[in-house]
Amino acid sequence: MRLELFSTHKKTYLTFILIGVFLWSLLAVNWDKDLFHSGGLSTLFQILEALFQPDLSKEIILLAIQSTWITLSYAVAGVGLAIVIAFILGILASGIFFEAGPLGSLFKTIFRGVLGFLRAIHELVWAWLFVASFGLSPFAAIFALALPFGGILGRIFADMLADVPEEPIQALKSTGASRWQLFFYGYFPIVKTGMLSYTMYRFECGIRSSAIMSFVGLGGLGYQIQLSLDDLHYDEVWTFIFFLIAIVVLIDWWSSQLRSKWTHSTKHWFLPFSSLLTAGLLVGAWCYIYIVDRASIIELFSTKNLEFAKKFFANMFGLGDESPAFFNGESWKAAISLTYDTLRMSIMAIGFSTVLMFLTVLPAARNVANGKLTLTRRWYNWVSFAVIRVGYILSRAIPELVWAMMIIFIFKPGILPGAIALALHNFGILGKLCAEVVEDLDARPIRHLASSGAGKGQILMYGVLPSVFPQFLTYILYRWEVIMRTTIIVGFVGAGGLGQQFKLSMSFFHYSDITLLLFCYILLVWAADFISEWARKTVK
């Protein structure tokens, strides 16, 4: 009986649980004490003032163009390699090439596990591991991008391939097609648009990740932002951020054009143009990295380098350390308390983004702005639509790490600034995704509500929310997984949690502490993946 009750009301229960968990996470912050630095607010105004007066001197613009190219070329090289990894591992993990049976599913599980491991660790942590073990080389940044991105893309590819309907494949099979023919004429045409659109989205993420590789010594926009922040030149900071936004917007536009042209006609000039552009970018990026940045794969695997890598991993495993952190009760206690903080930080972050998203999602939907959904046309609807959409772009184009670097000037160190930085970045993404859900709504029931005189809040509660809820929840949970991976990064700049301790241990060369912290971090990421998958299945 009780179980039955749960299953009929499980959406409601889950919502209450999630809200409860969010409220619990808020208890982690001492709201009585002042949260701002004594001068935090005035710093905030300085930063906002600079937003409207970016430094547009010729010198800075030239520097920005140069840095944009560096950021772009590493993103292209990294994501390009990630696609290769994702293709190979994704096909293997989808199981379409294996015979059904225990051996086939064993292989499938193994390759899924590999993909899961690759994507559990954030690209900046990979980068740091590569730099510490193989030294600072352009490949450290490229591989650091390629591995987690390959893991994420690979899983999506695998899911898409596994979801391909049986019938067309069976039809092809009956004509005697080989496995490769099955793949190229059966599977690939069905999944190609989905793959393309997701790949383009990852490319956009790659730009941001490439920018923050400045933390391990890669030049580019992130490096310039960091330098300008060090000198507190906020006007320069915004100039570089605008360039970052510009590439993100351009890629977004390219992706949407490409998707619509590809599905509607196959003979549009935009398609060969895009292929050429892709090839041009790939050639340009690799040439730049090889010729100007003098990357060398041979040097990467020199005996000297292997010696250092061996030494590094021995240190990580605590060999030669009298009391490695993972055999030390005190270290465990500290690490577990940080893990707990980090968990609360991530929940707070997704909670803040969700609240902000709910406040803005209606005016941000096109069908609300043009009055088609609510049957009321107001000129200011377009103004609020534009303002919120620009806000979304600003929010998501700026990487969490850059948000965090600015936020710690305003809030006192701890997990609150970390949560806010993560929320600021994710709210834009969540808002965009959810606004699109609202745009795809069946308008009839809502028009009905509107015509019977319901206000905006009532429309949201009784019209929009019930029909979009499962989709919203999926996106919220999915973003929470991403936030969990990123918590460690905002800690690097002092925004609390595991990341902050990680950075300190790195600076003090306490290798076995790092191993312990990494272990807690991966556990947290996996737990988040698991819980989020369970919750998504529950609402389905």
Partner 1 sequence: MKKRLILSFSLLIVLALSACSQNDKEETEVDSNKVFNIGAIPDQNAAELNRSMEQIAEYLASETGLDVKFVPSVDYAALVTAFERGEVQLAWFGGLTSVQAMSLVEGAEAIAQRPRDEEFHSVFVAQKDLQLDSLEDIKGLSFTFGSESSTSGHLMPRYYMLENGIDPEEDLAGEPNYSGSHDKTYKLVESGTFQAGALNEAVWEGAVKEGKVDLNKVDVFYTTPAYYDYNWTINTVDDVFGAGTKEKVKKALLSMGEAQKEMLDIFETDKFIETTNENYDAIEKVAKELGIIK
Residue 199 lies near partner 1 (rule: CB under 8 A)? no
The distance of closest approach from Cβ of residue 410 to partner 1 in the complex, given in angstroms and rounded to an integer, is 8
- Structure-block tokens of residue 291: 């010729």
**Which stretch, 4-12, 197-205, 338-346, 411-419, contacts partner 1 (CB under 8 A)?**
411-419
The distance of closest approach from Cβ of residue 372 to partner 1 in the complex, given in angstroms and rounded to an integer, is 36
Q: Name the strand (E) or helix (H) holding 104.
A: helix 102-120
Task: Give the DSSP letter of residue 505.
Answer: H
Q: Is 436 exposed, middle or buried (0-12, 13-18, 19+ CB in 10 A)?
A: middle
Residue 4 lies near partner 1 (rule: CB under 8 A)? no
Q: In terms of Cα–Cα distance, which of 457, 477, 462 is closest to 535?
A: 477
- State the amino acid at position 482 in one-letter form: V
Q: Which residues contact 330 (CB under 8 A, 6 or more apart)?
A: none
Q: Which is nearer to partner 1, 299 or 439 (CB)?
A: 299
The distance of closest approach from Cβ of residue 91 to partner 1 in the complex, given in angstroms and rounded to an integer, is 14
**Which stretch, 160-168, 184-192, 344-352, 523-531, contacts partner 1 (CB under 8 A)?**
184-192
Residue 188 lies near partner 1 (rule: CB under 8 A)? yes
**Which stretch, 150-158, 338-346, 440-448, 500-508, contacts partner 1 (CB under 8 A)?**
500-508
The distance of closest approach from Cβ of residue 409 to partner 1 in the complex, given in angstroms and rounded to an integer, is 5
User: Applying CB under 8 A, which of residues 23, 27, 39, 451 lies at the interface with partner 1?
Assistant: 39
- Structure-block tokens of residue 270: 């935009």
Q: Which is nearer to partner 1, 131 or 369 (CB)?
A: 131
Q: In terms of Cα–Cα distance, which of 442, 467, 471 is closest to 540?
A: 471
Q: Tell me which residues in 120-179 interact with partner 1 (CB under 8 A).
A: 131-132, 135-136
Instruction: Give the whole-angstrom CA distance, residue 282 versus residue 514.
Output: 35
Say if CB 213 and CB 124 are below 8 A apart.
yes
Residue 194 lies near partner 1 (rule: CB under 8 A)? no
Residue 327 lies near partner 1 (rule: CB under 8 A)? no
User: Applying CB under 8 A, which of residues 366, 412, 456, 536 lies at the interface with partner 1?
Assistant: 412
User: Applying CB under 8 A, which of residues 114, 227, 334, 393 lies at the interface with partner 1?
Assistant: 227
Half-sphere exposure of 469 (CA within 13 A, CB side): 16
User: Applying CB under 8 A, which of residues 4, 99, 231, 442 lies at the interface with partner 1?
Assistant: 231
CA distances to 48, 365, 366, 449, 465 from 452, rounded to whole Å, are 43, 21, 22, 5, 18
**Which stretch, 67-75, 277-285, 424-432, 474-482, contacts partner 1 (CB under 8 A)?**
277-285
- State the amino acid at position 27 in one-letter form: L
- Structure-block tokens of residue 213: 């590789």
Instruction: Give the whole-angstrom CA distance, residue 532 versus residue 290.
Output: 42
Residue 192 lies near partner 1 (rule: CB under 8 A)? yes
Q: Which residues contact 54 (CB under 8 A, 6 or more apart)?
A: 235, 236, 238, 239, 242
Residue 215 lies near partner 1 (rule: CB under 8 A)? yes
Q: Which is nearer to partner 1, 204 or 236 (CB)?
A: 236
Q: Which is nearer to partner 1, 99 or 322 (CB)?
A: 322
Q: Which is nearer to partner 1, 12 or 302 (CB)?
A: 302
CA 246 to chain centre: 18
Q: Which is nearer to partner 1, 201 or 286 (CB)?
A: 286
The distance of closest approach from Cβ of residue 374 to partner 1 in the complex, given in angstroms and rounded to an integer, is 42
Q: Which is nearer to partner 1, 276 or 355 (CB)?
A: 276
Half-sphere exposure of 293 (CA within 13 A, CB side): 27
CA-based R_g, the chain, Å: 24
Say if CB 228 and CB 237 are below 8 A apart.
yes
Q: Which is nearer to partner 1, 116 or 135 (CB)?
A: 135
- State the amino acid at position 425 in one-letter form: H
Q: In terms of Cα–Cα distance, which of 195, 119, 201, 120 is closest to 163?
A: 195
The distance of closest approach from Cβ of residue 156 to partner 1 in the complex, given in angstroms and rounded to an integer, is 18
The distance of closest approach from Cβ of residue 192 to partner 1 in the complex, given in angstroms and rounded to an integer, is 7
Q: Please name the residue that has the structure tokens 């949970």.
A: 477
Q: Which residues bind partner 1 (CB under 8 A)?
A: 33, 37-40, 42-43, 46, 80, 84, 131-132, 135-136, 184, 188, 192, 214-217, 223, 227, 230-232, 266, 275, 278-279, 282-283, 286-287, 290, 294-299, 304, 308, 321-322, 408-410, 412-414, 494, 496, 503-504, 506-510
